[in-house]
Chain A
Amino acid sequence: MNFKDYNIADFVSDESFQNYCLKKDSASTFFWERWIIENPEKKDEVDEAALLLKSLKFNGDGISGLELKQSKDKVRTRLENQFSSRNGKIVQLPKRKKIFNFSIAASVSILILISASFLAYKNWDRIGPQKNETSFRVKYIEKVIPMGKKSIITLGDGTKIKINGGTKLIVPERFGPDKRELFLEGEAFFQVARDEKRPFTIYTGNIATKVLGTSFNIKAYPQDERIQVAVASGKVSVAKETGHQQENPIYLKPNQKVDYNKEYNSLKVGDFDVEEVFSWRDNIIRFKDASFDQVVDDLERWYGVEFQVKKNEINGGYSGEYKNKSLENVLEGVSFALKFKYKIEEKIVIIY
C-alpha cells in the first residue's frame, strides 16, 4: 500500500512511523522526515497521527511510584532469602560473548576452566555419556513449504508425509537405530511405516506425539492458539514436555483428537469431524462455523496471501466448502455471508 493513501490509523499502526515518532531508529527518521517534506499535503494527518501516538502513555492504575519501589524491595528481599536457602544450579556459559572487558573475561574463563575440570573430575559418570551422544550428532535437513503450496515426502523408513502450506519440518538425514524423531511447525498428515523397534516421535512446541505405525494429522502453526493431533488409524500417544521430561502421555484411538492449549498449557481430548480435519489433503477448504479470524488464517496459508483488515468487528460464524476454487471465488462467498467488502491486490487482500 502506498503511504499517500495512509489515513491516521494507518500511520499510527505503521512500525517505521512509530519508530520515527519515538526516535527509535535513524533509518525510519531519515525516511519519514524526507517523505513529509515531499508530501506536504499529508502534513496535517501526519501531525495528528504523531500526536495521538505520543499521547498513548498509560498510568499505573493507582499504583504510586513509592508503592512500586516498596513492592520491588519486598520481593527482592524474599528472593535473596530463597537464593541463600536453596541451591541453584551452576551458571551456564553464555553462547555469545557480549561483554568485552578483557580482564574480567580472562579471569572468568580461567575460573570456568578450573571449575569445569573440577566438575568433570567429580562428575565424570554424568558427563561421559553426554559427550558420547554429541559425537554421534545427527545431521538435520530443514524442509520449508511456503504458504499456498503443499508437498508430499517419503522418508527413508517408508513413512509418507503430506505437508500443508506455511510449514517447517526438520528431519534427520538418517534415523537412528532405536528411534525416529522429527520436528514440526505447521500442519502435516503422517502415514507412519510400522517399526516396533523404533518408535516414531514428532515434536511440536512442547508436545511430543509418539507412535509405532499409524496415520494421523498434526496442526501446530506457531501463531495458532492450539496444537491439534487427530488420529485416523492406529494408536497414538501425546505428552506434554517440560524441560526434557515427558509428562504422563494421553493415548488416542482412531477418530479421537487432542487439543493442546498453549496459553493454559492444557490438553483436551475429544472426537472430531473427519471431513473437517482431513479435507485439506484432498484440496478442499472447509469451514464449520469458523470465526472471521480463523477464515483469514486459513486463507492466508492456503493461497499464500496477506490480509489487511480495515473493518472493525466482523462477527458471526461461517460455514462453507470449496474444492479447487480460486481465492476470489472463496472470498465472494465469505464476504456475502459475513458482510464485508474486499479488494485483491496481487498478494494482498484488503477487507473493508
Chain B
Amino acid sequence: MDKKEVFTEMNKAALLEFYDSFYEDLFLYGFKLSQSKELTEDCVHDIFLELWEKGKNLADVSNKKAYLLKYLRRKIFLKMKTLHSETDLDIVKEIKFGLSLSIEAMMIRNQTNHEVSQRLNLAIQGLTNRQKEILFLKFQNGLNYEEIAEITQLSLRRIYNLIHESISSLKKYFNSITISFILMIQSVFYLF
C-alpha cells in the first residue's frame, strides 16, 4: 500500500465515522423536508460522496451537525426543484414540513393521553411549515438559534420570533388540566 492509499483509507474511515454518527439526524430532517424516503437517502448519499470527492475534511468544520444539516437542506431543495420540472419556485415553497409530537412514545394508552396527544398534534398542524421546521431544529436537534439561523439563512431575530409565535399558538391548547396530566404521565415515564 503506498502513501496515497494510506491517506485515502484514513479519509474514508473518518467520513464513514461521521456518517455513522449523523445519519439518523440527517435522515429525519431530510424526510420531514421532502416527505420522501428515497429522495432523502439519495441526498445524504450524494453529500458524503461529494465530501469524499472533494477531499473535504469534516474535522475542519467546527459545527459538523449544523454544517451537514445545512448542506442537506440545500441539496434537497435543489433536487426537488429539478424534480418539479416546471422550475416554479413556488412549488418548492409549498412543500409541507411533516411534524407531529411523539406523545405515543410515552407508552401510556389511556383515554386522556390520547386526547392530549390529539389536541397538541392539531395545534402543531396549525403551525406554518417554517415554524414547524424551526421547532424541529430547536427541540429535536437541540441546535442553538445561531446554528438554526445559519441553516435556514434567516436572521436571529426571525428565528426567535418564529419560536415565540409557535409557542404562543401551542400554548392555547395547553390548559392547566392537560398540563397536569402530562406532568403525571411524565413522572411515570421518568420512573423507568
Residues on A lying within 8 angstroms of B by beta carbon are 8-10, 12-13, 15, 18, 22, 24, 48, 51-61, 63, 68, 71-72, 74-76, 78-80, 82-83, 86-95, 98, 111, 114-115, 118, 222-223, 225, 243, 261-266, 293, 296-297, 300, 306-310, 312
Contact = CB atoms under 8 A, between A and B. Distances in A.
Interface residues of B, number: 79
Interface in B14-51: 14-16, 19-20, 23-24, 27-28, 31-32, 37, 41, 44-45, 48-49
A91 B77 contact: no
Contacts of A308: 157, 160-161
Contacts of A68: 24, 27-28
A312 B169 contact: yes
B174 interface: yes
Interface of B: 3-4, 6-8, 10-12, 14-16, 19-20, 23-24, 27-28, 31-32, 37, 41, 44-45, 48-49, 52-57, 59-60, 74, 77-78, 81, 89, 92, 98-105, 120, 135-136, 138-140, 142, 144-145, 149, 153-158, 160-161, 163-165, 167-171, 174, 176, 179, 182-183, 186
Nearest to A76: B19
Nearest to A265: B78
Given A52-B167, A90-B7, A58 B140 contact: yes
Given A54-B186, A115-B3, A76 B60 contact: no
B55 A92 contact: yes
Nearest to A223: B155
Contacts of A87: 8
Contacts of B167: 8-9, 12-13, 52
A111 B171 contact: no
Contacts, number: 187
B136 A58 contact: yes
Nearest to B54: A89
Nearest to B140: A58
B48 A56 contact: no
A79 B55 contact: no
Given A59-B104, A308-B160, A309-B161, 20 more contacts: A15-B145, A18-B138, A22-B142, A24-B142, A51-B183, A51-B186, A54-B186, A72-B20, A88-B8, A88-B11, A88-B52, A90-B7, A91-B10, A91-B57, A92-B60, A115-B3, A261-B89, A297-B155, A309-B164, A309-B165
Contacts of A223: 149, 153-156, 158
25 contacts: A9-B164, A9-B167, A12-B163, A52-B171, A52-B179, A55-B182, A56-B101, A58-B135, A60-B102, A61-B31, A61-B99, A68-B27, A72-B23, A75-B41, A76-B16, A79-B16, A83-B12, A86-B52, A87-B8, A88-B8, A91-B57, A111-B6, A115-B6, A296-B157, A312-B169
